[in-house]
Amino acid sequence: MLPRRQRPPASGPWGPRPAVLLLAPLLLALQGVAAAPAGAGGPEDSPGLQDAEFPSGLLQQAARAALHFFNFRAGSPSALRVLAAVLEGRATVNPKKGCQVDLVFTTDHYNPEVGEEHLGKCSARVFFRNQKPRPAINVTCTRLIEKNKRQEEDYLLYKHMKQLKTPLDVISIPDSHGHIDPSLRPIWDLAFLGSSYVMWEKTTQFLHYYMAQISSVNQWKTSDDAIDFDYTVLLHEFSTQEIIPCRIHLVWYPGKPLKVNYHCQELQTPEEASGTEEGSAVAPTELNNF
């Protein structure tokens, strides 16, 4: 996301405000490792615990996971959010079980309108199970868009999608030059919504994902009320730099929970000899209060 305006003062003269990290005495007893202050230069996301197993950027990791989950659960392609900045956070580690991160972060519109100045704020509790994906997440955010407006935008998107000529004449979105035809923009947003579910499920404390490209639209059905969308997306996993193709099938109707089915190619992490990380899940969910 591209902030086109001045950020609210979260930055000091030497960079982003260092995160406040507190560690429970119990934690120290469990770990047997002395807590160390944040690294030189004050990177805002370096954890207080300098431990070989503690990945750099744990707070950012947690924020991203929380946002993927939030976006999926909100089920609204016109109200997608991206991470703006992590304000504060703390991590507690249980070496046997995993690590829990409590944090506060700000968000921005995925699609900023020129001149708009909206910064939503979220607080989240994220629990990463040791090396396993699908972190448990509790997240609440302040409203970025008024509920009525959001519903209206969703419905407009839905109507626009219903009018698209099928079969869709697209090879990839965006094209190699990053261009998305404005008429196809809703497809990208809806695909991102579905991908959010997949990316949440696949995130661990070490792995995080971005949606790089829709490589094919396999099916786009709007004959019934709902949008029935079957597509292949390329996810970019940052720490391994790998590109993971995922086939995603989603069903969406404005205001209703998103239904997602997916199947991704295995991620060959360099550390594992022959690990397979496949996922396939149906996701009927209810909208929680947020």
Partner 1 sequence: MTSKPANQTRSLMPSPAIKGEVQDFLVLCRRMKPLLGTLYLLGILAPEGLGYDGSLAQTRRGVLEETVSPWRNLDTYSYTKYHPMEEIYQWMVQITEKYTGVVTQHFLGMTYETRPMYYLKISQPSANYKKIIWMDCGIHAREWIAPAFCQWFVKEILQNYKDNPRIGRLLRNLDFYVLPVLNIDGYIYTWTTDRLWRKSRSSHNNGTCFGTDLNRNFNVAWCSIGASKDCHHLTFCGTGPVSEPETKAVSSFVESKKESIVCFLTMHSYGQLILTPYGYTKNKSSNHEELIQVGQKAANALKKKHGTNYRVGSSADILYTTSGSSRDWARDIGIPFSYTFELRDNGTYGFILPASQIQATCEETMEAVLSVLDDVYEKYWDSDSAVKMTLTAMVLGLLVSFMSVL
Q: How far is the CB of 206 from partner 1 (least distance, A)?
A: 9
- Give the 3-state DSSP-derived string for 122-139, with helices as H, strands as E and coil as C: EEEEEEEECCCCCCEEEE
Q: Which two tokens stand for residue 126?
A: 């994220």
**Binding-site member from 30, 82, 170, 226 for partner 1 (CB under 8 A):** 82
- Binders of partner 1 among residues 210 to 249 (CB under 8 A) are 210, 212-213, 234, 236, 238-243
Query: Which helix (H) or strand (E) covers residue 249, if one does?
Result: strand 243-252
- Of 118, 120, 110, 119, which is closest to residue 140 (Cα–Cα)? 120
Half-sphere exposure of 127 (CA within 13 A, CB side): 9
Fill in the amino acid letter for 49.
L
Binding-site size, partner 1 (CB under 8 A): 45
Instruction: Give the end-to-end CA distance of the chain in Å, rounded to a whole number.
Output: 23
Stretch 270-289: interaction string toward partner 1, x if CB under 8 A: x-------------------
Q: How far is the CB of 84 from partner 1 (least distance, A)?
A: 8
CB atoms within 10 A of CB 70: 23
**Binding-site member from 174, 228, 230, 263 for partner 1 (CB under 8 A):** 174
* Separation of alpha carbons 231 and 233, rounded Å: 6
**Binding-site member from 83, 104, 119, 164 for partner 1 (CB under 8 A):** 83
The answer to the question of residue 32 lying near partner 1 (CB under 8 A) is: no
> Considering only 23-31, 69-77, 81-89, 250-258, which stretch makes contact with partner 1 by CB under 8 A?
81-89
Sheet with 136-141, edge to edge strand ranges: 81-94, 98-109, 120-129, 136-141
Q: How far is the CB of 160 from partner 1 (least distance, A)?
A: 21
Q: How far is the CB of 222 from partner 1 (least distance, A)?
A: 26
Interacting residues with partner 1 (CB under 8 A): 1-7, 11, 14-16, 39-41, 43-46, 55-57, 82-83, 85, 110, 172, 174, 176-180, 210, 212-213, 234, 236, 238-243, 268, 270
